[in-house]
Structure 1
């Protein structure tokens, strides 16, 4: 959240292509430093700096670009195309990373190769940003100072707080799945590799299918809030089904073990 506030400041003062190009290049250099595997605290500093750069530049800039390209009628289509491409490339490079962890190397060498891959990807992103995003028109922005009265209006805005609460709840629901998967792998006795593949499929492959559908429905209904309401409802139902299946598996296992023990004792 702290980096997002700075993102608004940067977005009003610099060209969008410069922000993405510069941040991608800096993140690439920082990730390149991680290949040397410095001390623990240096790695924390590098990760924190890279996260701040991404939060303060990439996220606000790419949202601004998508809003600019989508206009008022095609927001859903533009955003869905972005998420399809994002999920597709994320799936490809996650599988590459999964393949790196399967190589017959030590954990140290595998980690270095993953950092190298991430550094090269950010370097490639900076090059493409410098070439293609420079062609986007830059709307005229009036550079005004951030005043305390403006901050006060934001703090007292009820709609803004409602959006923050919705996003926060969505984030909690999304991150909880990351904790559910290890539990499911233990309950259903899934190997670690299968669990990792399920994580990749959950994050990327499903997005490739779901994003175009959600984008088309959003443009038809002209209401993102209704789509979010339906999504939260389906998400809740899916979570309850997952826990029901896990509980049934544990319950069946309990009765099977109890019956076997009863037969052996008799």
Structure 2
């Protein structure tokens, strides 16, 4: 491996570390859904409301984040987001009231989705060439999965060690917060300005001449951006539903809290390790198109969900239910691993990619504003299997729509490629 390649993958590893830590606090429900109910006294709807507030603020600030990503150094923006999230986590560990938790979840969105995420996406795109965009974003998702899993199992281990009660839950939150702060400081000192890709200086010179409103105007006139954004939207709204496999196994199959936590780590984090790289490899090597891969993957979700719904709800089928839920999730994570790769397929100009990612994130991640709230309200209004079946059927319907959108993007990318070759 050449020094240039080592530097490239070294920078990538640092970015993965940040990407695998910053969302832990805003997504406590992934591992500690039941403890949030038990020790914070939250209902499904209230948990959904916290997540919706987080997503509303994130969505409102994604475009601002894209602007910041185009105009400030990566280490400054990313480190500020991580350290800020960690400080908020330390305050969250005091178990404040629901109204204060609402403010905390809003501010976590500022740190992660405004300061951190658009800068991360832009950095990863710049690290990979045109022929490896699927793999770079796939490895990002897979690498985040490794970091996610290690950090989450560490927090769960502390939770169990301290008796799986309120003290353990508080210690788990503090663990997440301290890791965020530590990684933020580490990135600030190791992700030096000189670690930017060689083309960044030239790119930033062009950006300085490009006024922010002109950038928005250019991006807004790109129909391919809106279709890619809608593809991300459809993947993400199905992804939101994965959270409810966790209480589903607890309520319907009677899994104990600790085992539900283990499942949650595997379901929400561990599968990134497999799903992200798998999606990147298949998209680049087999399907030759990330958008085509996403379209077929949406369709593959339907028979898996059919089995989940039809399995008998007895303890004899608990393992089978867990396996099918994990299979559904790994397909979704394989799509998440590549759902930004079509940005390059459809020809989004790199010099405005930060702004483009900001606008696309605003649309793509919008389901977080209402998905958790709607799904949670459905479960509270329809206790037992009826509520879960309703949520799962909605996810299937959305997958069908998503496949149509993804195939439309694939056709657009194919026409662009044909036109480029003809020229």
TM over 0.5: yes
Partner of 2:212 in structure 1?
Answer: 146
Q: Provide the C-alpha distance between the structure 2 equivalents of 1:149 and 1:5, rounded to a whole number of angstroms.
A: 11
- Cα pair distance change 1:13/1:152, threshold 3 Å: closer
Q: 2:283·2:293 contact (CA, 8 Å) conserved in 1?
A: yes
**Is residue 193 of structure 1 aligned with residue 258 of structure 2?**
yes
Partner of 1:229 in structure 2?
Answer: 295
Q: Provide the C-alpha distance between the structure 1 equivalents of 2:215 and 2:171, rounded to a whole number of angstroms.
A: 49
The structure whose Rg is larger is 1
Residue of 282, 287, 291 corresponding to 1:217: 282
Partner of 1:62 in structure 2?
Answer: 120
For these two proteins, the number of residue pairs brought into alignment is: 249
1:71-102 deviation digits (Å, cap 9, x = unpaired): 11222232232222211121111112222222
Q: Provide the C-alpha distance between the structure 1 equivalents of 2:139 and 2:90, rounded to a whole number of angstroms.
A: 30
After TM superposition, the structure 1 = structure 2 runs for residues 108-187 of structure 1, keeping only pairs within 5 Å, are 108-134=166-192, 135-137=195-197, 138-139=200-201, 140-141=203-204, 142-143=207-208, 144-147=210-213, 150-151=216-217, 154=220, 157-187=222-252
Q: Provide the C-alpha distance between the structure 1 equivalents of 2:102 and 2:82, rounded to a whole number of angstroms.
A: 19
**Is residue 239 of structure 1 aligned with residue 239 of structure 2?**
no
Residue of 97, 108, 111 corresponding to 1:53: 111
Shift of 1:106: 7.8
Q: Which runs of 5+ in 1 are unaligned?
A: 254-266
Q: Provide the C-alpha distance between the structure 2 equivalents of 1:73 and 1:157, rounded to a whole number of angstroms.
A: 22
TM-score (norm 1): 0.81
Partner of 2:338 in structure 1?
Answer: none
Partner of 2:39 in structure 1?
Answer: none
Q: Provide the C-alpha distance between the structure 1 equivalents of 2:76 and 2:127, rounded to a whole number of angstroms.
A: 18
Partner of 1:92 in structure 2?
Answer: 150
Q: Provide the C-alpha distance between the structure 2 equivalents of 1:48 and 1:181, rounded to a whole number of angstroms.
A: 24
Q: Secondary structure at the match of 1:190?
A: coil
Q: Provide the C-alpha distance between the structure 2 equivalents of 1:158 and 1:231, rounded to a whole number of angstroms.
A: 23
Shift of 1:54: 0.7
Shift of 1:189: 3.2
Q: Provide the C-alpha distance between the structure 2 equivalents of 1:68 and 1:33, rounded to a whole number of angstroms.
A: 36
Q: Provide the C-alpha distance between the structure 2 equivalents of 1:64 and 1:164, rounded to a whole number of angstroms.
A: 15
Q: Which runs of 5+ in 2 are unaligned?
A: 1-58, 318-423
Q: Provide the C-alpha distance between the structure 2 equivalents of 1:149 and 1:74, rounded to a whole number of angstroms.
A: 26
After TM superposition, the structure 1 = structure 2 runs for residues 245-256 of structure 1, keeping only pairs within 5 Å, are 245=311, 248-249=312-313
TM-score (norm 2): 0.53
CA RMSD of aligned residues (A): 2.7
